[in-house]
Amino acid sequence: MISTAFAQTAPAAAEGGASMLTGMLPLILMFVVLYFIMIRPQMKRQKEHRAMIDALAKGDEVTTSGGIVGRVSKISDQWIHLEIANGVEIQVQRSAVGQVLPKGTFDKNAA
């Protein structure tokens, strides 16, 4: 009823290092592709955004990440004051600036 069990012999270790490298190659390749497709462009975008925020000056016309358009009236280390209409000024964090608009885009008297 019970058959005899035979122990299997271990496969001959011809080249242990080469088989390990072959097994790791797809994982390494995926990481390299992920780096060049996702990580590197994101780091480049962050660097460009940081440079844009550092270059802000009084009088620049900007759009915030929330969609508010205004002209920079005051700048401090962490905050900027945006004039969004005549006599209406708001305070936002510098990092909330989404983009700097070309001069003359924002007209406070319109609408």
What confidence tens digit (pLDDT) does each residue in 38-74 have? 999 999 999 999 999 999 999 999 999 999 999 999 9
What range does the domain containing 87 cover?
A: 57-101
Per-residue CA distances from 34 to 22, 31, 44 (Å): 19, 5, 15
* More reliable by pLDDT, 108 or 101: 101
Give the pTM: 0.66
Domain shared by 37 and 67, yes or no: no
Domain shared by 37 and 66, yes or no: no
Domain shared by 30 and 49, yes or no: yes
Number of domains in the chain: 2
Query: Minimal CA–CA distance to 51: which of 99, 12, 10, 103?
Result: 99
Is residue 50 one of the residues assigned to a domain? yes
CA 75 to centroid of chain Cα atoms: 24
Domain at 82, CATH number: 2.30.30.60
pLDDT higher than 60, residue 8: yes
